[in-house]
Structures are given as structure tokens and as C-alpha cells.
Chains A and B, each alone.
Chain A
Amino acid sequence: METFFEWFRVLYDDTGINLPFLYDSYDRGRMFDGFLMTIKLSLVCLFFSVIIGIIGAWLQGSSLKWTRRIINGYIQIFRNTPPLVQLYFFYFAIGSLLPKVQNDWGGQEPLLGSFAWAAISLSFFAGAFNVEIFRSGLEAVPESTVEAAEALGFNRLQVYTDITLPLAFRVCLPALNNNLVNLVKTTTLAYAIAVPEMLYEANQIWSDNVNVTEMMLFLLVAYFLLVGVLVWVMNSWERSMKIPGYGS
């Protein structure tokens, strides 16, 4: 392994192509940490944004006017403002209003750190789109299918979890894929509030090594592969959910 890494030092010496995150163990460590942080932030946001979508789409069908209004207001706010502004708003505006807590060294620190705020902000951002995506899927389920379930004694929640949501999922998966791909790419915004994710660590490395071109190229390839894996997983999931004789 070490010979493999050392080869890149030789590459740098011979050609000037500088990839310190491969041959330098310190840079390698922080690049790897950044990569893990991006994965972690992506998974947390994917999970919570889908949960928000599922619950939001359910509440959107509520018979209570104010519940529907609140959900629609939430969607409008998060859809019509830039995610970077949302992130700053959560981190600087709401974050500064929260009480400070004492840390292990006796100092004061914010209740929620930058990772937590990025996770909250991006989950709500992608969640707003997910609510609309799930709603479009729910609208594709025929009313008569719902009636059949009601006639069998299903209550509204059971109809949703057992009938309409599983069917809606299959209809809206392509749109959901798009939004989740966008979400993974949007995690780079967390850089702006110093979450040490991949872009942040890359920036640290290019500041130290002045190898901007190489780092930019690396980031493109890294995100391309990362999103490629997500797309592959989602496509396999879509295939595994296909029902014989239903849909295209």
C-alpha cells in the first residue's frame, strides 16, 4: 500500500501533478475524514428528508385546515429561498438564540454544533421537495383503491401506510431520486458553516499545497462517484419494487 502512495510522490516530483491527499499521511487522514463526514451528513439528511416527506404528505391530506396551511407554508418557505441562506439563518440566527452549554473544558459552546445545524437545515430543505414529490405520487393512486380499503375497515392512517404510500413510492421514485441526488450535492454548502466535509477538507489541502487544479479535479471525480453509487442503489431499489403487471 505504502509503495502505491509513494508512487504519487514520485509522480509529483516527476510531473508536478500534486496529490498530497494520497502520498502525505496527514492530508490523507483529513481527506478521508472529510469523505466520511460527507457520507455521514448525506445519510442523515437523506433519512430525515424522506421522513419529513412521508409525514408532511400525510399531514397535507389532513382534514384540519391549519395543519394543511402550516405544511404548505413550510414548503413555500423552503422552496422559495436559497439553501445557503437557510443554512446561515439556522446557524447564525436561530443558533445564536439558543442557550450555550458548558463543555468538558469549562468553556461555553453552542447547544448545537455546525454539523447538527447543517443536518437540520438540509433535511428541511430537501424534505420540502419530498413532501411535494410524495404528494404527486399519492395523487396517482386511484380513489377507488382507497375506497376498497375503507370498505374493509382500514382507518386513514392504515390506508396511508399500507396502501397509498407503498403505491405512491413506486410512482414517485424517479422524482425522489433526482431530489436525493441534489441533496447529496447540496451537502457541500455545509462548508459555509465550517462542517469539515469533503469540500472543506479539500480547501484546507489546497490552501497548504497550492494545488487548486488537482483538488478541483479530485472533487469532481469524488462527487461523481459518490452520486453514482447513490443512483445505482436507488435504481436497484426501484427495480426490486416493480410489481408484475403494474405500471410500465
Chain B
Amino acid sequence: MSWTEDQPMVSIKDVHKSFGDLEVLKGVSLDVKKGEVICIIGPSGSGKSTLIRCVNALNDIQQGSIRVEGQEVNDPDLNKLELRKKVGMVFQQYNLFPHKTAVQNVMMAPLRVLKQDKSAVEKKARALIKKVRLEGKEDAFPGELSGGQQQRVAIARSLAMNPDVMLFDEVTAALDPETVGEVLQTIKDLAEDGMTCILVTHEMGFAREVADHIYFTDRGVIVEHGPPASFFDEAKDPRTKEFLSQIL
């Protein structure tokens, strides 16, 4: 593969995606450079979650191209394992494995998928739990943790695979207001460490603070995009303005 670090880490070009007759993405293009944090915002049903689910091949696309470090995702012979080693994903509903403790959740994929040595994996898992500020909760089961704590375990679980880019799919949408902050802080720590992040979010304040670039999607297309300062203060498209006026 001829991908080099100065090229976009994730390159999305003219992506079309339909569920049956319903076209959800109608030609979306965007690039994410290494170390960049982008936020995708927009009304429900605008296709933003679908877009990032396509990046790690949880959804397939009908047309267009998605490249992650040069690897084409829209390819029938796609090596999903190679792709998913590069792309970590965190979900709205955390989706932890309920029968495993926090530290086991973090250890599982490196052990089973990467077949790494157990003692090294455990050491790293405990360090990651500490990094997401959950020291002391290593042996708690997901059912014993709050939503915010579960979501931070989910972030640690994803980081354990050493991804190059992280996808966050409305990760605070299911949380109590008081726990949203702790999860956002964890993501902010990550962004400051230089992790490439693609976030779908409704947290406008957070987007403004951490994002390098904001994309606004509506009805399957990117309506407007730009750096946060100009995007939030000088939105031009009427649809963007209307959305922002409702949400801010």
C-alpha cells in the first residue's frame, strides 16, 4: 500500500448508501488527516451515524470510495480484520460484553483477535482503565457501572487494539447529563494525545472546543463545513442556520 502519513488518513469520496429504497447517503465526501478531530453534526436521520459505520464496514456502501490509510473499504475482498485493527469504534449504547468484567472487556480483543501475550495485555488493560480514570473498577461487571463509566470502559476497550483512528457514534446521547462530562473529558484527553477522531455528536459546545473541522449533514449530503469558529458564527446555508438556532 502506498499510503503515506501526509495523505488523508480517512478519505471518503462520493459515498452512496441505501437501505432498500431509502437512500441515506447521497454522495458524501470528506477527508480526515492524521491527528485531526472532526465532528459530524446534523438532525436525526441525516445519515451521520450511517456514514461512520461505513468507515469500519459495519455497513456496506453501494457506490463511492472510503479509504482508511489507503485501504479501500468498498471492496468485496476487503480484509475486515486489517481494517478493524486500524479503526476503533465506540457506540451510543456502550455495548460492553455483560459477562466480562471491565478489565476483561478491555483484554478480550487483544487476546483473542491479536493473540497477544496475556500478562502484557493485562498490564496494558489496567493502564488503559487508569487512563480513562476508572481505577478501582477493574473487576466490576458492566451491570455494576454507571452509563458514563461503561462508556469509558468501552473507549478503553477500543484503545486496547491500538487503533489509528477512533469513531465515536453519539457516545454521550444515552448518558445522564452529569456523566456526559466525564466521557467528553476522556475523548478530549485522547484528542490532545494526537488521536485521529471522527465524532458524531449533538454536543455543540464540545464540538466547538475539540474539533478541527465541523461537518453539517442533512438528508444524506454535507450541507456545510468549516473550522468551528467560522462554522458556528458565520454559517451561510439556511439549513445550517436553522439547525444551529434550534440547538444552541
Chain A interface residues toward B at CB < 8 A: 142, 144-145, 147-155, 158, 162-163, 166-167, 170, 243-246
User: Which residues of chain B from 50 to 102 have any CB-CB distance to chain A below 8 Å in the complex?
Assistant: 56, 58, 80-81, 84-85, 87-89, 91, 93, 95-99
Query: In whole Å, how far is A157's beta carbon from the nearest beta carbon of chain B?
Result: 10
Complex contact B84–A167 (CB within 8 A):
no
Chain B interface residues toward A at CB < 8 A: 56, 58, 80-81, 84-85, 87-89, 91, 93, 95-99, 108-109, 112-114, 140-144, 154, 157-158, 161
Q: List 21 A-B contacts (CB under 8 A).
A: A145-B97, A147-B91, A148-B97, A148-B154, A149-B97, A150-B80, A152-B108, A152-B109, A152-B113, A152-B157, A152-B158, A153-B161, A155-B81, A158-B112, A162-B97, A167-B98, A170-B99, A243-B99, A244-B140, A245-B141, A246-B143
Complex contact B91–A153 (CB within 8 A):
no
* Number of A-B residue pairs having CB atoms within 8 Å of each other in the complex: 75
Q: Main secondary structure on chain A at its contact with chain B?
A: helix
Beyond A145-B97, A167-B99, 11 additional pairs, beta carbon < 8 A? A147-B58, A148-B95, A148-B154, A151-B84, A152-B158, A153-B114, A153-B161, A158-B112, A162-B108, A163-B97, A166-B99
Contacts of A147 in B (CB 8 A): 58, 91, 95
Contacts of B157 in A (CB 8 A): 152
Complex contact A144–B143 (CB within 8 A):
no
10 smallest CB-CB distances across A and B, nearest first, come from A245-B143, A148-B95, A152-B109, A153-B84, A153-B113, A151-B89, A246-B98, A246-B143, A244-B141, A245-B144
Complex contact B91–A144 (CB within 8 A):
yes
Residue of A nearest to B87 (CB): A151
- Give the most central of B80, B85, B113, B158: most A CB within 10 Å: B113
Complex contact B143–A154 (CB within 8 A):
no
Selected contact of A153 from candidates B85, B93, B143, CB within 8 Å: B85
Complex contact B141–A153 (CB within 8 A):
no
Residue of B nearest to A154 (CB): B113
When chains A and B are docked, how far (Å) is the Cα of A144 from the Cα of B98?
A: 12
